[in-house]
Structure 1
Amino acid sequence: MSAPDDLPRYRVRNCHGFFADVPWETADVLANFAFPWEDRPAPRTEFRALWDAECLLFRFDCEDDDLVLADGADAKEKVIGSDRAEIFFAPDLSLDPYFALEMDPRGEVLDYEARHHRRMNWDWTFPHLTLRAEIAGAGYTVKGTIPLQTLRDLHVLKPGASEFFAGVFRAEFSHRDDGDVHQGWMAWVDPKTETPDFHVPSAFGVFELVGG
């Protein structure tokens, strides 16, 4: 993999824990999420990731005092209408294909394969994903694991490589006084599009596995 030098980078540190015993305090904290398409302060959002010999481990901690949790006939309907955290993975910046995880505070997940621009395969599921979510206090936490072999099989993590393309996002919804829902969109990397859109190459950065 050859990533452009100017792409934002996040260091994924090595660990030896697993899920409940994960030493999250050793992870780098990614907290510079913002609203690229709105002029307002962003609620606290912290993303952490670690890796061991088998898995990529990730965690979102999201401050949210006005949770929006939609009803629906299936996970897709529930997640699309709800507050959520999102991770996208791509073999390269053509986004042909890329793979998405959208996860709400209840642990519902919308996972899909897509091709630029917004050609989704809703029948696809992320292989061997483990996910747990919790609503607590004024916010929620989402934690998950993905086998490194899955990232290799998807050609996201290339043979001999220690870095890959990824995007991390948050859908921050809130209730309006008139009963409607305001949809806010937060990103780690500003895609610099005129309208909200995470499904573009400019929304991605680089995750680098370090300390192995």
Structure 2
Amino acid sequence: MKEYIVNSIEKKQINITGKGEDVLWNHAIELTDFCSPWDREKPSKITFKALWSSEKLFFNFTVADSSIHIEKKDDSIDSINNSDRVELFFRPDDSLNPYYCLEMDTEARLMDFIAYPNKNLNFDWNWPKKDILIKSSINKDTFIVEGSISIQSLKDFNLIKDNKIETGIFRAKYSENEDGTFEPTWITWVNPNTETPNFHITSSFGRLILK
């Protein structure tokens, strides 16, 4: 299983602005090992960083993209689902019964849900709002999605075990076809080795190590 080391900033707190400017991010290891196993072209660069304190897990996606697609019909699940976004999945164990999904677009809209085996998704469930913060920014050639999740909520969902969090880290990139429709390219940290794109599977997860 792939592993990523999440360094501790002890009792300090990162100022989440959506711009990733806090100097504490200098303590994070950069994760750039992403692939799109079902697409011939190499995906544009994604840099993921995470840190943790006694109270929060902090995360930062910086994605190279000069042609962002976002559907702004409303803030519905369908609208977010049809937009460029980054994703974090967490699971207590490899049974995926349940697992928790956070999908965040370039305007920091959140599609959060609980899921069960065989892609049984429950969109009536939400991560407690008091326990999660997400902000974003769009630049000329990149976008940033930055956020924090309370350590207590991760513990409440039984997601931290021996200072390890089993996690999927993903991106969906939408590109326009000749007929004007948009089609997603699926990008992942861990190659699940499936014939067609599928993140909702045991083999798509790696492990965050809280140091």
TM-score normalized with structure 1 length: 0.92
Partner of 2:149: 146
The total of aligned residue pairs comes to 202
Q: Is 1:34–1:187's contact at 8 Å kept on the other side of the alignment?
A: yes
Q: CA RMSD in A?
A: 1.2
Partner of 2:8: 14
SS at match of 1:101: strand
- What is the distance in 2 between the residues matched to 1:66 and 1:203? 27
Specify the alignment match of 1:163 in structure 2: 164
Q: Is 1:186 aligned to residue 187 of structure 2?
A: yes
CA distance in 1, matches of 2:178, 2:78: 23
Q: Write the distance in 1 (CA, Å) between the matches of 2:65 and 2:177.
A: 15
**1:54-133 maps to which residues of 2 (within 5 A)?**
54-127=55-128, 128-133=131-136
Helix, strand or coil at the partner of 1:178: coil
Secondary structure of residue in 2 paired with 1:23: helix
Task: Name the residue aligned to 2:19.
Answer: none
Once superposed, which parts of structure 1, at least 4 consecutive aligned residues long, lie more than 2 Å away?
Answer: 19-22, 71-75
Q: Amino acid of the residue matched to residue 19 of structure 1?
A: N
1:13, 1:44 → 2: CA distance? Answer: 22
Structure 1 unaligned segments of length 5 or more: list them.
Answer: 1-6
CA deviation vs aligned residue, 1:140-159 (integer Å, no higher than 9, x gap): 1001100000000001113x
Asked if structure 2 preserves the Cα contact closer than 8 Å seen for 1:66 and 1:175, the reply is no
- TM-score, normalisation: structure 2: 0.92
User: Is the 8 Å Cα contact of residues 75 and 109 (structure 2) preserved in structure 1?
Assistant: no
Q: Deviations over 1:2-36 (max 9, x none)?
A: xxxxx000000001232244511210111011111
Q: 2:149 is matched by which residue type in structure 1?
A: I
Q: Tell me, in whole angstroms, the C-alpha distance in 2 between the residues paired with 1:71 and 1:61.
A: 21
1:75–1:108 Cα contact (<8 Å) kept: no
Aligned counterparts of 1:116 and 1:133: Cα–Cα separation in 2: 31
In the TM superposition, what is the alpha-carbon distance from 1:41 to its structure 2 partner? 1.4
Contact 2:133–2:147 (8 Å) recurs in 1: yes
Secondary structure at 2:155 match in 1: helix
Match of 2:138 among 123, 135, 138: 135
Q: Does structure 2 retain, via aligned residues, the 8 Å contact 1:55–1:145? A: yes
CA distance in 2, matches of 1:19, 1:47: 17
Greater displacement, 67-76 / 131-140: 67-76
For the residues of structure 1 that align with 2:112 and 2:13, how far apart are their CA atoms? Answer: 26
Partner of 1:94, secondary structure, is: coil
- Residue 73 of structure 1: how far off its partner (Å): 3.8
Match of 2:207 in 1: 206
CA contact (8 A) 2:90 2:166 kept: yes
Displacement of 1:75 in angstroms is 3.1
Q: CA deviation at 1:172?
A: 1.1
